[in-house]
Structure 1
């Protein structure tokens, strides 16, 4: 059996790191098993679905390194859902219901007030043909519910019916179908809710494994029953924990702050985002892994916690910085050219500044400091200003190299008596405008003699 998994976002907004978590669990699982990955756009909500969001999802997944083997849109497959719905109707497994949302809400509240579970009582099954005709003449249009197989002969007498599965993440799981309401599959306007199209697609396409958030655990019992009613073999299911903010709030497409589009624009490394999306909420330390192959080897579904995983942006900063520090020059050469770094000095420049860049884009600021004319961020005291002027008069002759800084400061130490911070800090501030940064022995040859002298305070 070839593993076939899917990621099924709705193109109603930009996907965030929580959505990526689900996509990666599936992608990495398939990669490790030599399987295939389907990107399925659940776009049956015509009012909210947008083509630009679908395009953005493809781009954002590609930025991470996920390139689907197959892509499809549910809006192109409505005929399949119609056929499946008709099959269920013909067998009496999809039945019309006429209650309004307000009526259903009042019934639920009455049941809860009596200490009973708010399960739909299948009142629509008691309606005669005349009752249904009268309701439709009043202007009511039915929504359609799937009749769960939780009874022997009389659907109005449900009994305990356990559906079990071996969850890839959570182990042995079970749901009692008698504890659930018959799910609505078709709305009053004839459009489909998530469940029927999803099951039909998974069954028709031969999806073998469904790995998704644990907010779908209860749905799984219903979906297994629907798979079987339609004659499909259910896939294996796995339910991972969800990501929340540090304060415990759920992630949302509407917030935007943790969307892949935003993280990409802010210059984070894609493997930092991917590493954190997978490793948070898993046993073991959170490490910046260099590739999706390395992350696939790290993946252990059984090691995923069953409690929510909190996303800490500080961890993302740390992981991204680690990856940037380790980047070879060849991976950043094009970016450095764009920042105005001369090609002949590009490798030496990156060697000098990489350790001070949390993101590759940070190198642009250092290029401005080295090749531009930085304004000191800290005003020098008059005594330090005089020292720097004197020091520049004692600047070594000839081309600068990595030994120039040491030669220069050793001479200044011997001739002025300054040492430590009093010696080094005024020079750094005068030459870079900052009181921190890369080793001056690396920066000074890049700044060069002419620009160094031009920075006389």
Structure 2
């Protein structure tokens, strides 16, 4: 059987780094198992779901290197869910409830005052036909709950009923169905909540492994019961730890915290995002992988901690810097052209500056320095200005080769007696306007003799 996974966000906002972690866990699992990756949009919340958000999620996934084998929309599969509902009703495990939200809240409060867990007491099962008719005549429309199999003969007498599974990430897991309320599967207006479409789709699409955040652990007990009620074998579940901000706050699509879009616009490389999103909170060292295949070789769901992992954006810049320093010109070339960096000098320029940039866009400033000189000419003391006049008088004639910087500074040292920082720093400031940067031995041949003399103070 082909391993089949799915990533199933609601298209109600931009995905963030935590969502990307789930997508990547599924994608890398599919890569390692030669499986299939289904992109499924849980868009039954018609009021908040939009095609624009769905398109943006696909764009973000493609940017990360994830290309689904299939894309599905739950809003286009309502007939399949309707059929499942009829099956559950026929099996007498889906029942109508007429309580209002206010009535349900009051009942929960009463149960708490009695020292009981605030779960639904299945009062709807005791309604008489007359009571149902009265509710209907009052205009109440029912919501529908799934009757959890947590009793022997009387559903009003639930008893401890354990659901077990061997979690890909967490190992042996247990959920007691008696500690849970019967979940609402269908709202009063006939629309579906998350649980039913998700389970039906997993069955219909042949999903073999469900990998998601550990905030779904309890849901898994319910879903296994629902899968069995529909006559299906449950898939293998895995629940990875969640990412939080450095301050410990949860991430949310609504707030846009650490969205993939914002990270991309900030110049972060996709593999910096993917590497940190996957490896943080695991036993693996967090290093920058060159591509997703390399990252897959470091990926092991079981190596993930059970505790939440804090995502520090500063770590992204460390990984991003590493990727920049290692990026070959062939990989950067087309993106440099878009930035206006092209021609015969582009490759030696890139090899000269890549070790001094945090983002690829940082190369633009150095290209301008190379082409036009310092953006803000440095101020020099009278002594340094006299030194620079003498130094530029000693500039070698062309043709130049890779030793021109060494030859030039050798002559300067012999003529002036300066060495070390007092020699090199005034030259660097005159040539680039900065106190740091690429090796001047690499930049000088690119400037040429005429371009170098143009920087003479």
Question: Normalization by structure 1: what TM-score?
Answer: 0.97
Report the counterpart of residue 241 of structure 1 in structure 2: 241
State the shift of 1:221 in Å: 0.6
CA distance in 2, matches of 1:139, 1:5: 42
Structure 2 partner of 1:35: 35
Q: Is the alpha carbon distance of 1:24 and 1:90 closer, same or farther for their aligned partners in structure 2, counting shifts above 3 Å?
A: same
Aligned partners of 2:435, 2:257: CA distance in 1, in Å? 32
Q: For residue 80 of structure 2, what is the aligned residue in structure 1?
A: 80
1:347 equivalent to 2:347? Answer: yes
Q: Within 5 Å, which residues of 2 pair with 1:46-445?
A: 46-376=46-376, 378-445=378-445
Q: CA deviation at 1:257?
A: 4.3
1:158-192, CA deviations, whole angstroms, 9 ceiling, x for partnerless residues? 11111111111111111111110000111111110
CA contact (8 A) 1:376 1:429 kept: no
Taking the aligned partners of 1:160 and 1:375, their CA distance within structure 2 comes to 73
Structure 2 SS opposite 1:398: coil
Deviation at 1:291, TM superposition (A): 1.6
Q: How many residues align?
A: 457
- Give the conservation status (yes or no) of the 8 Å contact 2:373–2:431: no
Q: Distance in 2 between matches of 1:258 and 1:454?
A: 45
Deviations 1:362-389 (A, max 9, x none): 1111111101232336422232223223
In 2, the alpha carbon distance for the partners of 1:286 and 1:106 equals 49
Q: 1:262 & 1:43 partners in 2: Cα distance?
A: 23
- In the TM superposition, what is the alpha-carbon distance from 1:97 to its structure 2 partner? 1.0
Distance 2:206 2:35 in 1: 12
Deviation string 1:410-430 (CA, Å, 9 cap, x unpaired) is 211121122211111111111
Q: Distance in 2 between matches of 1:339 and 1:405?
A: 28
The Cα offsets for residues 253-299 of structure 1, whole Å up to 9 and x where unpaired, read as 12324111121222211111111111001003111111211111111
Secondary structure of the residue aligned to 1:210 is strand
SS state of the match for residue 21, structure 1? helix
- Point out where structure 2 has 5 or more consecutive residues left out of the alignment: none
Q: What SS class does the counterpart of residue 131 from structure 1 fall into?
A: helix
Q: Distance in 1 between matches of 2:312 and 2:143?
A: 43
Q: Deviations over 1:112-150 (max 9, x none)?
A: 223221111001111111111111222222111100011
Counterparts of 2:285 and 2:319 in 1: how far apart (Å)?
Answer: 12
RMSD of aligned C-alpha atoms? Answer: 1.3
User: 1:337-386 deviations in whole A, cap 9, x for unaligned?
Assistant: 33443421222111110101222211111111101232336422232223
Shift of 1:200: 0.4
Partners of 1:241 and 1:306 within 8 A in 2? yes
Of the structure 1 ranges 346-355 and 384-393, higher mean CA displacement relative to structure 2 is found in 384-393
SS of equivalent residue, structure 2 residue 345: helix
Cα deviation for residue 317 of structure 1 reads: 0.8
Unaligned runs of 5+ residues in structure 1 are none
Contact preservation (8 Å) 1:339, 1:367: no
